[in-house]
Amino acid sequence: MFEDREDAGRRLAELVGERSYRDPVVLGLPRGGVVVAAQVARLIGAPLDLVVVRKLGAPGNPELGIGAVAEDGAMVVNEALVARLRVGEGQLDRIANRERRELERRVAAYRTDPPVPLDGKTAIIVDDGLATGYTARAAVAAARLRGADRVVVAVPVAAPETAAEFEVLVDELLCVELPAMLLGVGGAYADFTQTTDDAVVSLLRGPAGEDVEIPCGEVFAEGVLTVPAGASGVVVFAHGSGSSRLSPRNRAVASGLNAAGLGTLLFDLLTPEEATDRRLVFDIPLLADRLSSAAAWLGGRVRGPMGFFGSSTGAAAALWAAAERDDVAAVVGRGGRPDLAEARLPAVRAPVRLIVGGDDAVVLELNEMARSRLSGVTDLAVIPGAGHLFEEAGALERVTDLAADWFVRWMADAV
């Protein structure tokens, strides 16, 4: 039914994209489910995270699931199957403890930053298929423990009887293929090669790239530089409001820009200690100076046009730095505070596109005011129905498309 997990993910993403979910977070089940989930998260513009789950295999037949355990302590058991196989309580405990040890190992291996908060959000749990479904059941329990307001399970393929059970277990079940008989999930794929731990970590980190240290005055900033073959330019990200290079939203945008043939540099404007100081978060001259230092470092390392992408206070830093440099081909701000760079706005020569959510009334007014101060080519793109964080279905994908269009257009002229 599917060429591989990426093919399955693209087809599932089309189905999920037809819906509209409030504050969605896509949760992949390691390992193979994360490959599918990454495609879904990219299409709907949602953060990608995971729920680590381990199947409890029957004694003498580990492929037969009699239950599952998940991080956060969630555990589900097929009581009827346990009774039929005469699995004693002590035996079940030993199986569960063994799988918890492996679960702890995987959590340590996969998680490079804290889990995405689920309080009040829609958790979209994605696996590569549902056979007995007990790992997905444990994931559902874990998502509810983490405070998810709604839980959706989305899979490429499912056994009909399992799908029927999930219809009443979750708020919504989405499935691309529902064959009359499913002997095993792997049978639905031409290529069902096992996914590696490294692949899971790479997908969660976003665009693959080179870890770099950038000299910025008295500090060294940690960053990730990604330059696809034949890149038409490199976009430097300026995170704001205490965010970092690990921001799920900016990583999602960076991945989209990479797919459009653009390089990206995501780096931390502030050290972890500095990021807790609200005064520094709003110190636009400091942020702009560090952004300019990163741009100078990049210019000595990668040839070609350069652009700035700023979010929140980072948008002001991007405009401030662009006003002082003549090598910036274009600037894009996402939900930003360009008004904080008011004194430097008339000096910005690079073409500027400001992207704002239609429901973000205060920030929209501030962007309109800032645009009136810019003297060069400008564009104000308003995404209807989107809020400040662009968490609505498809909103972040629209941000990515608008940013890629702007950078590609003006970088082509700068070559």
User: Per-residue pLDDT averaged across 247-272, rounded?
Assistant: 86
Instruction: State yes or no: cis peptide before 31, omega within 30 of 0.
Output: yes
In whole numbers, what is the pLDDT of the chain averaged over residues? 89
pLDDT, one tens digit per residue, over 13-44 is 999 988 888 889 999 998 899 999 988 887 77
Instruction: Tell me how crowded residue 185 is: count the other CB atoms within 10 A of its CB.
Output: 19
> Distance (Å, rounded) from C-alpha 272 to C-alpha 251?
18
User: Per-residue pLDDT averaged across 299-316, rounded?
Assistant: 92
Confidence of residue 105 (pLDDT cuts 50, 70, 90): confident
Burial of 353 (0-12, 13-18, 19+ CB in 10 A): buried
> Distance (Å, rounded) from C-alpha 353 to C-alpha 205?
27
3-state SS assignment for residue 183: coil
Helix axes of 89-110 and 197-205: crossing angle, nearest 10 degrees: 50
Paired strand residues for 331 = 308, 352
Residue 153 reports pLDDT greater than 90: yes
> Which of 80-89, 193-202, 302-311: highest mean pLDDT?
302-311
| Residue 87 to residues 1, 57, 183, 302, Cα–Cα distance (Å) | 36, 11, 24, 61
Structure tokens at 257: 């820009």
User: Per-residue pLDDT averaged across 47-51, rounded?
Assistant: 88
Residue whose tokens read 């501030």: 366
Percent pLDDT > 70 in the chain is 97
Structure tokens at 215: 């000299």
Maximum Cα–Cα distance across the chain? 78
Burial of 316 (0-12, 13-18, 19+ CB in 10 A): buried
pLDDT, one tens digit per residue, over 223-254 is 989 988 778 899 999 987 667 787 777 888 88
Residue whose tokens read 């409030």: 22
Residue 387 reports pLDDT greater than 60: yes
Confidence of residue 407 (pLDDT cuts 50, 70, 90): very high
* Residue type at 238 in one-letter notation: A
Decide which of 124 and 134 is more confident: 124
> Distance (Å, rounded) from C-alpha 356 to C-alpha 311?
10
Structure tokens at 98: 């063994």
Q: Are 142 and 53 in contact (CB under 8 A)?
A: yes
User: Per-residue pLDDT averaged across 51-74, rounded?
Assistant: 83
Structure tokens at 229: 């073959």
